[in-house]
């Protein structure tokens, strides 16, 4: 594989933007990424768009607005990992030397999820009973699954819900320093504990918000990166995509797949957890940050909560997680979420994150999982 660099990143602020279309949000993120890279739209040779439930060819609509140039546009719907999947495809297009410049963009609108939920069958019907069961397995009620995972961890390790609530407090603190985050008002442990219950024991702040947003990244060949004078150069050291090795829907499936994906990424990058400066993780629920921290080898099994309590996963700690606020506070519009992680990691490795900058950051890991069994891990490095 040829070496690949991240030349430019861009974002439209995450939040509720009912007056804006997915296309306009995507165009904003792409324009920012192009300006950041010092490139023009005509320089892009292929495009991948990550979305969830946004209808036919949303990437093509963005391309049309930018001005059709004849490049291939591939639309990817891979649940929460759609943006990460789009970035991986862009990376592969450059790494296999098919093109010198590839664009990955992700867009999301809350209406997409609401429209899908609106098709729920009439109460009292057999179809309604079936759908209620399926909601507990997938897209529409993940809080049920993660509430059960939380209870299981509390049983296995003696975890306290207050410890997991500290994840929400930490991530909101990080988000308060991120102008693109959806939820920026700081919150206390008491705020999290006393908030409205969603699914026992999870209150609202334990769960990520839905909303709108867009993010984009442009990746280029090493030759093109040098032509652009990128300094520092942020390179993609690993890109790994896995699905579960077994079926059955066990509560540990995401963690098991995450562990395998991370191990392969470390091997591909020639690194270990000790070489990573910061992590962006799929923390749609507080329990996930703790589970995945252990699964990826950053702390011993059963120790995640204590690391949170000790501040080890915050900026200034041993291995900062979700430095932009994560899904819990930066927001999770699904399609752009994985690319927002690339945006944050690239900014951190360039030393451009201002008040939330991780001192001396040299390598960052991004991690996303998706409903149906998808896990994507990338490792970026400052050169």
Given the DSSP bridges, would you call strands 234-242 and 374-382 parallel, antiparallel or unpaired? antiparallel
228: enclosing H helix or E strand? helix 222-228
**HSE-up of 103 (CA within 13 Å, CB side)?**
36
Tell me the pTM.
Answer: 0.93
Sheet holding 278-280, edge to edge: 73-77, 46-51, 101-108, 212-221, 4-15, 234-242, 374-382, 363-370, 278-280
List pLDDT tens digits, range 156-173: 999 999 999 999 999 999
> Mean per-residue pLDDT for 320-332?
98
**HSE-up of 10 (CA within 13 Å, CB side)?**
26
* Residue 334 predicted with pLDDT over 70: yes
Three-class secondary structure of residue 156 per DSSP: helix
In a domain, 92, yes or no: yes
Residue 112 confidence (pLDDT)? 63
Please state, in angstroms and rounded to a whole number, the distance separating the CA atoms of residues 349 and 149: 33
In a domain, 189, yes or no: no
List pLDDT tens digits, range 225-234: 999 999 999 9
In a domain, 182, yes or no: no
Residue 55 confidence (pLDDT)? 87
In a domain, 195, yes or no: no
* Residue 128 predicted with pLDDT over 80: no
In a domain, 200, yes or no: no
CATH number, domain with residue 64: 3.40.47.10
361: enclosing H helix or E strand? none
User: Count of residues for the chain?
Assistant: 383
In a domain, 96, yes or no: yes
Residue 127 confidence (pLDDT)? 60
List pLDDT tens digits, range 239-293: 999 998 765 444 467 899 999 999 999 999 999 999 999 999 999 999 999 999 9
* Residue 198 predicted with pLDDT over 80: yes
What secondary structure does DSSP assign to 88-145, as a single string? HHHHHHHHTTS-SEEEEEEEE-HHHHHHHHHTPPPTTSHHHHHHHHHHTTSTT-HHHH
> Mean per-residue pLDDT for 38-42?
98
First CA to last CA across the chain, in angstroms? 18
Q: How confident is the model at residue 144 (pLDDT cuts 50, 70, 90)?
A: confident
Structural domains in the chain (count): 1
In a domain, 348, yes or no: yes
Residue 301 structure tokens: 């099994």
Between 253-269 and 286-295, two packed helices, what is the crossing angle to 10 degrees? 50
Residue 296 confidence (pLDDT)? 98
In a domain, 20, yes or no: yes
* Residue 47 predicted with pLDDT over 60: yes
Q: How confident is the model at residue 114 (pLDDT cuts 50, 70, 90)?
A: low
Name the residue range of residue 241's domain. Answer: 4-113+209-382
* Residue 119 predicted with pLDDT over 70: no
């Amino acid at each position: 594989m040829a070496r690949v660099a991240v030349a430019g990143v861009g974002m439209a602020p995450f939040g509720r933007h009912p007056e804006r279309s997915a296309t306009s949000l995507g165009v904003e993120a792409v324009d920012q990424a192009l300006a950041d890279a010092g490139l023009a739209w005509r320089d892009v040779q292929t495009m991948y768009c990550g979305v969830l439930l946004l209808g036919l060819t949303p990437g093509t609509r963005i391309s049309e607005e930018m001005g059709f140039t004849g490049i291939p546009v591939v639309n990817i719907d891979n649940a929460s990992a759609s943006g990460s999947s789009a970035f991986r495809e862009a990376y592969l297009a450059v790494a296999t030397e098919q093109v010198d410049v590839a664009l990955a963009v992700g867009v999301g609108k809350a209406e997409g999820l609401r429209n899908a939920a609106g098709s729920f069958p009439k109460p009292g019907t057999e179809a309604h009973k079936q759908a209620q069961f399926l909601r507990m397995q997938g897209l529409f009620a993940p809080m049920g699954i993660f509430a059960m995972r939380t209870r299981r961890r509390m049983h296995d390790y003696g975890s306290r819900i207050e410890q997991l609530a500290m994840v929400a407090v930490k991530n909101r603190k990080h988000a308060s320093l991120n102008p693109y985050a959806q939820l920026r008002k700081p919150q206390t442990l008491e705020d999290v504990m006393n908030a409205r219950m969603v699914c026992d024991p999870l209150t609202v702040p334990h769960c990520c918000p839905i909303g709108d947003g867009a993010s984009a990244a442009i990746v280029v060949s090493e030759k093109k990166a040098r032509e652009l004078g990128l300094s520092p150069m942020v390179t993609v050291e690993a890109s790994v995509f896995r699905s579960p090795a077994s079926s059955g829907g066990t509560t540990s499936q995401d963690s098991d797949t995450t562990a395998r994906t991370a191990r392969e990424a470390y091997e591909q990058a020639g690194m270990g957890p000790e070489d990573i400066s910061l992590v962006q993780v799929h923390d749609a629920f507080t329990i996930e940050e703790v589970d995945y921290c252990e699964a990826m080898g950053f702390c011993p099994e059963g120790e995640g909560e204590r690391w949170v309590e000790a501040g080890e996963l915050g900026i200034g700690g041993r291995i900062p997680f979700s430095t932009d606020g994560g899904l819990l506070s930066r927001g999770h519009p699904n399609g752009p979420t994985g690319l927002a992680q690339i945006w944050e990691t690239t900014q951190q490795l360039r030393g451009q994150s201002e008040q939330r900058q991780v001192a001396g950051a040299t390598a960052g890991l991004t991690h996303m999982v998706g409903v149906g069994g998808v896990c994507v891990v990338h490792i970026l490095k400052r050169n």
